[in-house]
Structure 1
């Protein structure tokens, strides 16, 4: 057992926080993404039947497809909207209250989904998807920030990657519940789409047992006794003088100001490379080709002889592969830092995309080539899940101090949702025009990010935001920060505080 494992076992409330925030945050996002595939035909039937009974109009297939695309895409619109509002909401209510309030849209959405078939209203599904999106957009940001601020510095990297594990678990749960033997039937699909209401209820009942973020209590509210009490509850009895001193050091850097806005984040030249890193990493997260590989997995499975009825079970294999890789992230993150995880992941994904393009071109010429494509698909998914998927999410929380943290997550997740929306709208066109050569477009993003991480991004594990900022200075000599003045101010503050 490693030192980090023993340290985590000494913090039982932190373990509880990981699970409570996970099932009410990242897990719900994963379920919402994957659960729509199984009942797609049933929902499209509901759309047409509703229009016939209500308006006497029998829709054409392109009209049904257009409405279906809107039902799927409105999830990203709701997520993007809530992500843009996340900074102000968390600054006003705090991390814990934000997570509590965020359960309400999910509960309302679950009720709408459950009643949509009985009410013969596909509009209720649209509203529910929008509310699920709002829940996911705000929940992901609050989930990550809360865990990063509650974990000891040595555990922040490992705790942060658990977000990816819950996303993968949610995706796999949505795929598993969506099979015809469970909830993926004409009668039971409303229960499938309302499942996340149950996890929201669990979070709503258990989250009050957890304390507020210690960093938020000290920097935003100035309540030092409450901060110290929260640290003791999360980490156990001990003297946390040095930890609180480090938090106060951030207060010096932010010059006793409150939470900064996204506009202030963009204007601050001292942290421009941190911001560029967030933009690069979160843009590539959706444009790395993972959705393209999942899409072509069905074609490859057909080529190797898997029947149409069994494709859904074969897809479970891809979900299980991603889940198993993401579950290993906690142990990988302890020995392999974020930089190595990102670099290695995108490097392997680049190689897999090149090989996939070649094998897809040769599929009709060689009978055994589809099997090679299938192996490459699983290797690509494993590379993504064990690298970029887990390493990307906590990056803003590690690069920025508390003043800029919410704004940085707002920028990163907004890019993530915008990228997901663009891929959803443009990917069918790319497939139609370029077929499997669309992999080459995603290859550009993977290679570019791989090179950026290798030469322009420092290691973040076991380092505070101020230590990481110093590493950025070493890499980018042109960045000038008034470090002497900050050190002087910090020394003055320590004399008055301690």
Structure 2
């Protein structure tokens, strides 16, 4: 029986449970918030007009109403950017667990703003709620991956960090389902629909107290070797932790006396130059590969391919369901195939998918074919979430998540604000702009980035140092 547990990794059930708690309280509720905002658009805009009339005794003009609605949608990305910036300081000062507890409180407060916005006749409360939900997402997604990555054995690190993408995809699908007009997408229920993503945030508030702090944070940042050992024993249910503790000790010695690095350090230090370049490409990849643009343009894709208007909302649910299945598939492949191959060939598949999608839109193929292509496109999303946790040592990791969060959220804001203009200018050819990015990123991942699968943090650093200091001997020979 014990051998059976070890072979399936069942002795890590507490670690899996922690991944579920963090996933539901973080990524899942973020996925819901992203997907539910489109469903009540008409009802919220009607509420904005009603509130404006109540205050000023005149209806709001169409351009002002559209501007308010656009800002309600976009402000979440700006809040997430602020949260991502704080992901560099709060987890260092207060620890990963306390930061996640604080972040759950933020989500609950955001939900209360949404619920009482109609009673207070204040669309500004919706803006504040969306801003707080964004802050919650920006801080939570970074610390979530930090917490899991530092608590996981190297053989499970890819799978467990990818659970964030799994729960995010599940949240998107659930948000699309509950947002239909037969459920909560009505004029009476829209405040509760916008607030519903605050409910999953209650789970970490009730359960995280029973989980230990990140072992690597305790050992490397705080020097608490006994606390780190107890945390590992509780999470892994193993007595022989010699190799893991030795790895932590080596990493602690390599950064002995160093303070936590800043964003400036990452941007200027040669020793992480290739890690930074890899981070930039992967974190902007979910946006500039056309992934979110497909969501923005989904209704128009179905329109172009001949889908009846009454079916488009349900076809969008189909996209969410297929994304969830695809991410589940990736979670089982990532620690077998490796990050490098999965992402590199995934980008090349995206380039092919975007090219074929453009052709389908031009010749107006049936909706089922367009949907199949979207499913193919979504076979590799979310792997980028697992990579940043692998690339940096403990002292660099919080600042690295600030960089990754800033790139990701500002890229999302840029695509969300600008893609409609691209569509207007290029029509059905709008997705071709993503093809070049996918080809370049795929080639970079396949030919230049070292594999991180099954390696310790120090081994990964040594592989990248071969790139960071590739010309050192040549430079020294020239100098002397």
Shorter-chain TM band: over 0.9
How is 1:156-195 mapped onto 2 (pairs within 5 angstroms)? 156-195=157-196
- Contact 1:162–1:390 under 8 Å retained in 2: no
Report the counterpart of residue 22 of structure 1 in structure 2.
23
Moved more, 246-255 or 396-405: 246-255
Distance in 2 between residues matched to 1:282 and 1:36, nearest whole Å = 23
Distance in 1 between residues matched to 2:307 and 2:366, nearest whole Å = 15
Q: What is the number of residues matched between the two proteins?
A: 471
| 1:375 corresponds to which of 360, 368, 372 | 372
Following TM superposition, by how much is the alpha carbon of 1:172 offset from its aligned partner in structure 2, in angstroms?
0.7
Matched, 1:471 2:463: yes
Alpha carbons of structure 1 residues 202 and 264: separation in structure 2 relative to 1, 3 Å: same
Report the counterpart of residue 238 of structure 1 in structure 2.
239
- Contact 2:23–2:164 under 8 Å retained in 1: yes
Following TM superposition, by how much is the alpha carbon of 1:439 offset from its aligned partner in structure 2, in angstroms?
0.9
How is 1:217-228 mapped onto 2 (pairs within 5 angstroms)? 217-228=218-229
Alpha carbons of structure 1 residues 223 and 446: separation in structure 2 relative to 1, 3 Å: same
Report the counterpart of residue 362 of structure 1 in structure 2.
363
Following TM superposition, by how much is the alpha carbon of 1:3 offset from its aligned partner in structure 2, in angstroms?
9.4
Moved more, 303-312 or 209-218: 303-312
- Contact 1:8–1:15 under 8 Å retained in 2: no
- Contact 1:297–1:377 under 8 Å retained in 2: no
Report the counterpart of residue 457 of structure 1 in structure 2.
449
For the residue of structure 2 that corresponds to 1:153, the secondary structure is coil
How is 1:248-397 mapped onto 2 (pairs within 5 angstroms)? 248-363=249-364, 368=365, 371-381=368-378, 383=379, 387=380, 389-397=381-389
Moved more, 452-461 or 251-260: 251-260
- Contact 2:271–2:468 under 8 Å retained in 1: no
- Contact 2:286–2:292 under 8 Å retained in 1: no
CA displacement, residues 216-249 of structure 1 (integer Å, 9 cap, x when unaligned):
0011111111111001000003121221110111
Which consecutive unaligned segments of at least 5 residues does structure 1 have? Answer: 482-498
Report the counterpart of residue 60 of structure 1 in structure 2.
61
- Contact 2:220–2:252 under 8 Å retained in 1: yes
Following TM superposition, by how much is the alpha carbon of 1:357 offset from its aligned partner in structure 2, in angstroms?
1.4
- Contact 1:11–1:234 under 8 Å retained in 2: yes
Alpha carbons of structure 1 residues 6 and 121: separation in structure 2 relative to 1, 3 Å: farther
- Contact 1:153–1:464 under 8 Å retained in 2: yes
- Contact 1:220–1:258 under 8 Å retained in 2: no
Following TM superposition, by how much is the alpha carbon of 1:471 offset from its aligned partner in structure 2, in angstroms?
2.2
Report the counterpart of residue 78 of structure 1 in structure 2.
79
Report the counterpart of residue 486 of structure 1 in structure 2.
none
How is 1:40-189 mapped onto 2 (pairs within 5 angstroms)? 40-189=41-190
Report the counterpart of residue 415 of structure 1 in structure 2.
407
CA RMSD of aligned residues (A): 1.9
- Contact 1:162–1:329 under 8 Å retained in 2: no
CA displacement, residues 83-114 of structure 1 (integer Å, 9 cap, x when unaligned):
11211111100100000011111111111111
Distance in 2 between residues matched to 1:325 and 1:370, nearest whole Å = 20
TM-score, normalised via structure 1 length = 0.91
- Contact 2:271–2:465 under 8 Å retained in 1: no
Report the counterpart of residue 211 of structure 2 in structure 1.
210
Distance in 2 between residues matched to 1:300 and 1:127, nearest whole Å = 32
Matched, 1:447 2:439: yes
TM-score, normalised via structure 2 length = 0.94
Distance in 2 between residues matched to 1:318 and 1:421, nearest whole Å = 22
Following TM superposition, by how much is the alpha carbon of 1:403 offset from its aligned partner in structure 2, in angstroms?
0.6
- Contact 2:393–2:461 under 8 Å retained in 1: no
Distance in 1 between residues matched to 2:200 and 2:143, nearest whole Å = 16
- Contact 2:29–2:171 under 8 Å retained in 1: yes
Following TM superposition, by how much is the alpha carbon of 1:130 offset from its aligned partner in structure 2, in angstroms?
0.4
For the residue of structure 2 that corresponds to 1:403, the secondary structure is coil
Following TM superposition, by how much is the alpha carbon of 1:296 offset from its aligned partner in structure 2, in angstroms?
3.5
For the residue of structure 2 that corresponds to 1:117, the secondary structure is coil
